[in-house]
Chains A and B, each alone.
Chain A
Amino acid sequence: MSALSPEAASAPSGGTFDGVVSHGNWIRDMHPLNVAVVLASISLLALATPRPVGLVSGCVAFLGIAVAAGVGGSFARLYAKLVVGVGLVLFVLRAAFVHGNHVLFELGPLAPTWEGVREGTTFALVVMALCGALTLYFVLVPMKTFMLALELKGMPPQATYILLASFQAITDLGRSARTVMDAQKSRGIETEGNLWVRARAFVPILAPVFITALNQTEERAIALDARAFNSGIPHTHVLQLRPAPAWERAATALTAAACLATIGAGLLWT
């Protein structure tokens, strides 16, 4: 198995390529699929070990890996947003509506229970553990490198293109929406202010933005054809994945084996 050099092949220097370039961090230099195996193993272990300790440990482990990889700050900021935007909402909904015998307090029709709080905590932690693994993965591994790894494992280029283009489409739609909003603003339409004003300005631009995107789809398909995307010839790649050293392969296998063994032992014990 080879490992990644995500910026190497896209880093022309003086008109030529530098060759394989490292991120300068062994975790970020790992092969995309090895990173996936390690993070999936940790997630499974976190889900299988007694709750909520296992789940909290999983989340902390992800944070630890991010710090060790030198992306602690960006991961923590992203993860904090998810905790507040997703985890907290899930917790509140469960805590407020799950029935139980031990009512904590009553607030109108709401009567949070101790059972609800426990279930909400566990459910939110499960979601956060899974979100943590995914978020950390995409902080550590550029999407294109992951797709290249999959393509080299036999995934059709059409499938990887669709995935990559879908992610790019999010950026493109955002840019297109901003352009239309700016045009609206220049015509004197109020687009800034409170949430209601923004929503009222935003909703009417959705149709033109999506219709433009649909119109561009055909042209994009023709442009791909012009680049011989469906040439019928096996594709080569300008990006190169860094060859994975033996220790990395061994460490990945050991981590996966240890996690699975722990889960297996836990299952047999119970």
Chain B
Amino acid sequence: MDLATLRDVTFTYAYAEMPALEGVTLQLQRGQLYGVVGINGSGKSTLCSLLRGLIPHFHQGTLEGTVEILGKDLGEWDAAELSRTIGCVFDNPFTQISGIKDTVFEEIAFGLENLGVSRSDMLDRVTSVSEQMGITALLRKNPNELSGGQRQKVAFASIIAMDSEVLVIDEPTSQLDPQSSHAVFEIIADLKARGKSIVLVEHKIDLMAQFADRLVVMRSGEVVAEGPTAQVLASPAMDAADVPRPEVTDLAFALEAVGKGLGCVPVTRREAEAAIATRMRGTQIHADRVA
């Protein structure tokens, strides 16, 4: 059973003139980490809302085409069942705090309370997630008084504590520093390793290149490419969607343009280092022979 199947899906928000999604056809497999990239207004967040079932349950508009989530038509899903099955982290950390809890500990436990998790399990999960996220120092603080980045971590921790089968994550690192962003990606990779299906919207393309199994590239509400990350990053679809490539990929293309290609198109720093090291070894051997 697929994670999601979208066939020729078009969605227009109520009172909007243009569709936010247009003719989207996608098949997402379970157990994979899908990265969704695209410039602002390309339909990434709308796609997240659709996959999470917020469309049509919360957001009003006209939905055409077929959407199946975990083998079941979206219209047949009960909103409560969806909320238990698919965890969702939004891009705005300021509205993701419940607003009624006095400590971060209680805030993270809030979703678990709603799922009827026993108190002892709750304590274990909150403790474990907060250690994983590196926010144990925040546990006694009031979530309403945290900075944007801290709130983002707490919101993310709150959702992963719920241990949903599927996670839809919309720009989880928009307010985080590079170190924290990398840590969040490590956690996402760990979740994937534990069998979770993940759809991740993110602008940090270098991290996407490193962690995503497959990439979905969007432009003006349309999916312009979908496939294995390395293949998509090297494809012209990235230029068509105005999405920047990883710096190392750009470097490889620049070298190729001047006839000094690396022999491969690296998308991660590690791949680039390996390719450059090979080149340098080759150059050294050549120099030794000449000498």
Q: Which residues of A contact B (CB under 8 A)?
A: 9-12, 15-17, 142, 144, 157, 161, 164-165, 168-169, 171-172, 216, 218-240
Contact = CB atoms under 8 A, between A and B. Distances in A.
Interface in B80-132: 80, 83-84, 87-90, 92, 94-103, 105-106, 109-119, 122-123, 126-127, 130-131
9 contacts: A12-B103, A223-B90, A224-B98, A225-B83, A226-B52, A227-B114, A228-B83, A229-B114, A240-B119
Interface string B192-232: 00000000000000000000000000000000000000000
A233 B116 contact: yes
Interface residues of B toward A: which range?
A: 35 or more
Interface in B156-174: 158-159, 162
Contacts of B97: 223
Given A15-B136, A172-B144, A238-B109, A226 B87 contact: yes
A144 B100 contact: yes
Given A16-B123, A226-B159, A238-B122, A231 B99 contact: no
B58 A12 contact: no
B269 to A, nearest CB: 34
A228 B116 CA distance: 10
B100 A236 contact: no
B interface: dominant SS: helix
A220 B127 CA distance: 25
A168 B97 CA distance: 12
B59 to A, nearest CB: 9
Given A15-B136, A221-B58, A238 B96 contact: no
A235 B114 contact: yes
A165 B83 contact: no
A236 B158 contact: no
Contacts of B130: 15
B114 A228 contact: yes
B36 to A, nearest CB: 18
A16 B115 contact: no
Contacts of B58: 218, 221-222, 225
Contacts of B105: 10, 12, 238
* Centre residue among A157, A168, A226 by max chain B CB count within 10 A: A226
Nearest to A239: B106
Contacts of B106: 9-10, 238-239
Contact of A15 (B117, B127, B158): B127
A10 B111 contact: no
B120 to A, nearest CB: 10
A236 B116 CA distance: 5
